[in-house]
Every structure is written in C-alpha cells, then in structure tokens.
Structure 1
Amino acid sequence: MPTLVPITYEEHSEIRIKPLEGLAEFTNVSLLPIYDVEIPKLAVSCPLVVVPEGEGYTLSLLCSLSNDMPNAWIDHEGKWVGGYLPAIIRQRPFTCLKNKEDKLLVCIDEDSPLVGDEGTPLFENESPTEYLNKMKEFITILYNSGQRTGRVMKLLHDLDLITSWEIQLSNQGGTSGKIEGL
C-alpha cells in the first residue's frame, strides 16, 4: 500500500526521484487504468475495457487475461513494448488528492522505489525544481482527466450502455476457463 503525502519543502527538500528504468512491479498486472486523454493513443493498437470498480466503472488497458499471466506489454527485461506508455506508469511516484477543504494536493508515494537520495531533486534553494513544476502540471492534468473519465463512465452506466461480457478460453491440452468482469 503506498504512503501518499502532500509534497512540502519541509518534508521533501532532500528527496530525489530516480528515473523509471524497469517495470517489474507491473509484470503481473492484468489491467491498467487509463485517462480519457489517452484513448486516442491507445485505442488504435491496444484492447481497452470497461471494468466494474466499486459502485461505478473504470476504463482500463487490458494487459493480460489474469493476474497469473504476464503483462503482454512488458518484456522479460521489464521494458514496455507497447509503444505509448500509459500515464498511470509515467506519473509515478506522484498523484493528486483532495484535502478536506476540497483543495487539490500533489502527493508523493514515499514508499516508491523511485524515491530516495539519488536522482532528480524536487527542490533547489527552497523552491520547486523545473522537474517538480512539470510533474505538478502533469499530475493536475491527469487528475482532471480522471474526473472527466469517471463522469463519462457514470453517464455510460446511467444510460445502460455498458454490458458485461465473458471470454471462454481453452487450450490444446484441454484446459479451459473463463474471464469475467469486463
């Protein structure tokens, strides 16, 4: 479980972010949530699915048919081979959350392996670095995109335009199974 905390100079002045080099943590991920702004980049070459989540639905990139199977978009060296790299991966270790006053806060996952004492600093001379400012802008855009995506999923559901389907699978050895929840 990530430890998400708002980014402040007092708490994160010494923090550095390592570059994204491997995707081992996504090797057994079967679904990656995507944002509405990513649909044109992904829909032309990747299977996108609508998946139940809580009381609503989320739009996701189908990476494998189960968590027991390897992610088809990551090779044996942990590199993305799917062309466009989804924002949910690129935004790491940052995200946006709203506080009690409904103010948007850019947060960092302090448990991320990308966070440490090597890499790109978040602050210089008590001010955010260009890197941090660009990430804040990126994360804010993604947050707003996620809100739009959620509203569209709700509208599709409210209009009864989402239907579930299951996939029946079998292999040459006679083993069969089904994938549900898509």
Structure 2
Amino acid sequence: MTQWTALSKTDHAQSLYWPRDGYQFAKNEQAVPVFLAEIGKFLPHFMLGFVKDNDHYQPVAITGLGQGNLYLHPEGSWLGSYIPAALRSYPFQLVDNQEGKQLVCIADGHLTEDPEAKPLFEIDGSLAKPVAETVGFLQECEKNRQITTASTQKLADAGVIEDWPLILERGEGQEPLTVNGLHRISEQALNDLDAETLHALRGGPLSLAYAQMFSSHQLGELTKRAEFLATYHAQQTVEKPANNFDAMFSDDEKLIFDFDK
C-alpha cells in the first residue's frame, strides 16, 4: 500500500523527487476511479462498473478480474490509447487529513537525495513548474470527482444500481472466473422509472448510467488482454507486443483534459 508524505515548504524546500516512470505502481489496480469528464474517452477501451464503499457507490473502470491489471505490460508500459486521469498524477495525490483538509502529498518512494532527480520547489519557495501543473490537474480532478459522486448518488437513490456477478472467460484450458463485489445499472429498473424521477436524472447521472450499460460490451477486451498476457508470460520473452491492440503504448499522458461545466 502506498505511503504518502504531505509536502511542506519548510520540510521539503531542498527536497528532490523522481517523476513517474511508467505505471508499475498500478500493477495491482483492478478498478480505477472514473470521472464524468472522461467518460467519452473510456467507452472505446474499458468496461465500467460500480464498487460500493460503505453506503456509497464509486464508478470505476474495470482493469482486472483477479489477475492484476490487464492494461499494464509487465515492463510497466500502459497497454491502451487512453490512460485514466486518476493514474496520471502519480506520484502526487490529494489526501485528506484528520481535519478534512486536503493536502498535496507525494508517494514516499519517490523522495530522494539523488542530485539527478527533480526539485519539488523553486528557489523562491514556489512549487516547481511540473509539480504545480500536477497540483492544478489534481484540483480539477477533485472538482469533477465531486460532480461524479453526486451523479452516482442520484442513481443509487433512484434504485437503478444492482449487484453484478461477472463471469470472465479466461481462454482454453482455464475455468471461467466469477467476480463478486461489482455493481451495474439495471436496465429494467431504469426503464421502469416514472417521468419525474427520470427527468431528475438528466445530465450527468443518465450519461453515467448509459455509459456503464454500453461499456459492458468491452468484456471481450478483458478476455483478450488476459489471454495475451498469459501467452506473454508463457513465452518468457521481453519483446513488446506490437499488433495485439490498437495504439498499444499510449503517449496520452498530458495532465490536461476538458471538464464539462
């Protein structure tokens, strides 16, 4: 589990850090948080669902079903043409303290004294430009996370989220994998809503609901990835696959995308 250290001008004025190099840190991530603003970019590549945290639901992109992150090459490269925003800010994150205030934190393993590393702060005490840009990105993500959470809650209140026992075919000679703990939109419950309730879901909630239902066709994408990675490991080769996926190694790592207002 990642340990985080809150950044401080006093404690880290002279500190250095290693930027993210690949996505190996996400090798065990099998459900990545989704923001409404990036739904359109998720649909061609990911299957969406919901996970329950206490009494609340969180929309997620399903990146694995028991075998680790199927969107990650063993060498750490991302296998896909879109990288979720929730992963692109690493090694920085906003973390709530005990008073509920959000602090800018860095993953402990990225702090270093190596002179080849990057500074966290400028000489004048301001954040270094790459760090400041990442913090701005995190703040925009947080704004959209709140919008996404509110939209998800409206769907839950309307009673259209249901359990989703998911079965994944894992290729010849392997038993199908049944995954519990996921939730989806009930198309029947959505269709049965009265006009007033349906009208109240217009905008973000309905966009999220239909996106989840449409994305269920991406189950085959997970199956292909599981088969591909199983073959890769069986061959014990270091060659990077070139033809199994469209735009296998993404360069879409910018900390910029448009959030709907």
TM-score range, shorter chain: 0.7 to 0.9
Structure with bigger helix share is: 2
Equivalent in the alignment of 2:33: 33
Distance 1:174 1:21 in 2: 34
CA drift at 1:26 = 2.0
Structure with bigger strand share is: 1
CA drift at 1:70 = 3.4
One-letter amino acid matched to 1:76? P
CA drift at 1:23 = 2.4
Confirm or deny: 8 A CA contact 1:7 1:106 kept in the other structure.
yes
Residue 116 of structure 1 pairs with residue 112 of structure 2: yes
CA drift at 1:172 = 4.6
Equivalent in the alignment of 2:155: 156
Q: How does 1:37-76 map to 2 (within 5 A)?
A: 37-66=37-66, 69-76=67-74
Q: TM-score, normalising length from structure 1?
A: 0.84
Confirm or deny: 8 A CA contact 2:20 2:91 kept in the other structure.
no
Larger radius of gyration: 2
One-letter amino acid matched to 1:80? W
One-letter amino acid matched to 1:13? A
Confirm or deny: 8 A CA contact 1:5 1:108 kept in the other structure.
yes
1:28-66 deviation line (CA, Å, top 9, x unaligned): 322111222221211222111111122211111111111
RMSD: 2.3
Gap change, CA 1:115 and 1:85, over 3 Å in 2: farther
Structure 1 gap segments, 5+ residues each? none
Equivalent in the alignment of 2:77: 79
Equivalent in the alignment of 1:181: 181
Structure 2 gap segments, 5+ residues each? 183-261
Q: TM-score, normalising length from structure 2?
A: 0.61
One-letter amino acid matched to 1:41? K
Confirm or deny: 8 A CA contact 1:106 1:139 kept in the other structure.
no
Number of residue-to-residue matches in the alignment: 178
Report percent identity of matched pairs.
28
1:64-106 deviation line (CA, Å, top 9, x unaligned): 111xx13221112111011111122211122224556665432
One-letter amino acid matched to 1:108? I
Distance 2:60 2:176 in 1: 25
